[in-house]
Structure 1
Amino acid sequence: MAIEDEDGGGAAGQPGRLILTVYGLYARERGGWLPIAGLVRLLGEVGINVQAVRSAIHRLKRRGLVDAERRADAAGYALSDDAHGLLAEGDVRIFGHTRGAADDGWLLVVFSVPDTERAKRYQLRSMLTRLGFGTVSPGTWIAPRHLETATVETLQRAGLAGFTQVFAGPHVAGGELAELVASWWDLDGLQELYADFLDRFEPVGARWLAGGDGAVDDARAFVDLVDMLTAWRRLPYADPGLPLELLPAGWNGERAHELFATLSARLREPAARHVEALLGPAETLPAAG
């Protein structure tokens, strides 16, 4: 569920990201549609006001990710076919994050784009960055071998396959792999991203995972889950699952992945109860006409 949008900053500055998180978590089990009134109510709980929700949903509509649709006289927005596909693709990357091994091999994408197609060059670089590729040289990008299928499918879907050649194989010679990986990816930057995530959500995890029989606050679980998943979503793309043996000692990404998996599992059920309390059970929502 990793569709990126144009918003940035903290929670109040990224309503588009939060909307996509809510759609990814709850709309697909409801026919891909949510009523705008319900969406406004849910987003209000994570600090997004009505106008910001409406502005963000209109931007998503212009990008072809949602379509305005009425069901049983209720105004709402449905995920487009493209959005369904991108969310499903993101589920695999986010919730099934794969970490490669050094002997699995590597994927190389080589591209050459004529000056008359400069926009395609920018699109290619942006796409490879989002997939988590490192840069060997301006026209040669590298990733762990396990990204092969996702890369080929993404290139084809974007109409960019004709500008690229894709190779897969082992590293044979030419330097120490750990040193090369450190030159191809910004590992210090990745460590900082993981550190920010841990600083923000380890206290949340301590609160939810401490055990005990205290009352569960379903509304708080919803806010914490949406907030955490929105913050986490870009990390499995920035870190494409590089082999642990090639990363610096004490790589904090492992601790961050463990926290994300454990805390998301803890929060899902009470958060879903809260959404059902606000919107009603999924089967009671009006079906597409």
Structure 2
Amino acid sequence: MLPPIQKRLDDFRQQGRVQAGSLIISVFGDAVLPRGSRIWLGSLIRLLEPLELNERLVRTSVFRLAKEEWLRTEPAGRRTDYLLTPSGQRRFEEASRHIYASSAPRWDRRWRLIITVGELPPKRREALRRALFWQGFGILNGDCFVHPSADLSAAFDALIAEGLSDVLGKLKPLLAADAQFGNAANDIDMVHGAWNLERLAGVYAEFVEHYQPVLEQLRADGQGDIDGESALLLRILLIHDYRRLLLRDPELPDVLLPPEWPGQKARLLCKELYRRLLAPSERHLDAHFQLANGQTPEATPTLHERFREDDPLALPG
């Protein structure tokens, strides 16, 4: 039987189909952004090669991300750096506030609403629904999207980035205090109508099932026993999987969640595992991360503030 670390990496390698573009977005947000938001394409290819993402797949995915205005190119001689665009960097920085937070945001007891006004063609309505779903919005009565804490301006910016600028004129953003919904019991009823919490809990439980054995192996062996390459690959997969989870999670306040909600366990697991992987993975990046001019930029010191150690919450040993 394979050790948990090797099993997690092998499970990824054996997937029939990999969404390489989404994985590369995670790499840029987690590893490239702290080193100046740029990387030589050849270096990116080499860093991802151990995950069995071949050169052609990485090149194709990066070209597509450039076309979608996540990335832009900057040649340096015969080589090319890929950089985050200003809009891509803003999106990453907004996501980072959720990914690396030590706890869920406090609720100001106001709901964020986006109401559709007028008719939308079925395909555009479905595209809108999917785009807001991936921002954590629930849906009520087919034409009202709801979220407890989203930045509505950022939500509209994200819709523009998704190619939905043509529907903005038929959307009305609103803030509503919980009193406008009646009382806490009505809020809970609304939550169950807007989100499938059972499905989300199941996805969180699956995340914990995948990564808890990895954490236990590191606790038993000591984080110094993991090589830098494996640490980086695990860090990439961890943040990639956790980022996709948070995109679907409205981060509801505790008062509106079922007892023993698995989201908090997943957050604490991700925090401890990330902190254990950070130092060896950064040593690997120091040795293998390159710009087109051959230089290796240093990571910003703020990188080590992610999942702060002073968080009073801790995952039981």
**1:152, 1:224 → 2: CA distance?**
34
Q: Deviations over 1:228-258 (max 9, x none)?
A: 1111112112111112222222211111011
Instruction: Please state how far the C-alpha of 1:123 moved relative to its aligned partner.
Output: 4.2
Counterparts of 1:39-50 in structure 2, within 5 Å, are 39-50=44-55
Shift of 1:211: 6.3
For residue 252 of structure 2, give the secondary structure of its aligned residue in structure 1.
Answer: coil
Equivalent residue, structure 1, for 2:104: 98
The CA deviation string for residues 123-158 of structure 1, in whole angstroms up to 9 with x for no partner, is 4323321221111111112111x22xx222331562
Counterpart CA distance in 2 for 1:283 and 1:44 is 19
Match of 1:268 among 275, 278, 289: 278
Cα distance, 1:212–1:31 mapped onto 2, change above 3 Å: closer
C-alpha distance after superposition, 1:67-99 (max 9, x if no partner): 232225423322222211211111112223634
Aligned to 1:13: 18
The 2-side partners of 1:192 and 1:156 are apart by 30
**Is 1:133 the counterpart of 2:137 in the alignment?**
yes
Q: Residues 51-77 of structure 1: CA distance to partner in whole angstroms, max 9, x if unpaired?
A: 211221122122122223222542332
The answer to whether the 8 A contact 1:12-1:47 is kept is: no
Query: How far has the Cα of 1:265 moved from its partner?
Result: 1.9
| 2:250 counterpart of 1:245 | no
Give 2:287's aligned residue: 277
Conserved 8 A contact 2:112-2:152: no
1:157-236 correspondence runs (5 A):
158=160, 159=165, 161-165=168-172, 166-171=174-179, 172-173=181-182, 176-210=186-220, 212=222, 214-236=224-246
Deviates more, 1:122-131 or 1:200-209: 122-131
- Counterpart CA distance in 1 for 2:83 and 2:259 is 45
Pair 107,154 (structure 1): closer, same or farther in 2 beyond 3 Å:
closer
Report the 3-state secondary structure (helix = DSSP H, G, I; strand = E; otherwise coil) of the residue aligned with 1:131. coil
Per mean C-alpha deviation after superposition, the further-off stretch among 159-168 and 52-61 is 159-168
Percent identity, please: 26
CA distance in 2, matches of 1:51, 1:213: 34
1:30–1:283 Cα contact (<8 Å) kept: no
CA RMSD of aligned residues (A): 2.8
CA deviation string 1:38-58 (max 9, x = no partner): 111111122211221122112
User: In the alignment, is the contact (CA less than 8 A) between 2:30 and 2:239 conserved in 1?
Assistant: no
Displacement of 1:285 after TM fit? 4.3
Between the aligned partners of 1:170 and 1:107, the Cα distance in structure 2 is: 10
Cα 1:256/1:224, change in 2 over 3 Å: same
Specify every segment of 5 or more residues in structure 1 that has no aligned partner in the other structure, as ranges.
1-8
Does structure 1 conserve the Cα–Cα contact (< 8 Å) formed by 2:40 and 2:290? no
Higher relative contact order (CA 8 A, sep 6+): 2
TM-score (norm. length: structure 1): 0.83
AA matched with 1:98: A
Instruction: Write the letter of the residue equivalent to 1:36.
Output: L
Q: Which amino acid aligns with 1:126?
A: R
Deviation at residue 278 of structure 1 after TM alignment: 1.0
Equivalent-residue separation in structure 2 for 1:241 and 1:26 (angstroms): 25
Deviations along 1:1-26, one digit per CA (max 9) or x if unpaired, are xxxxxxxx948512112211221223
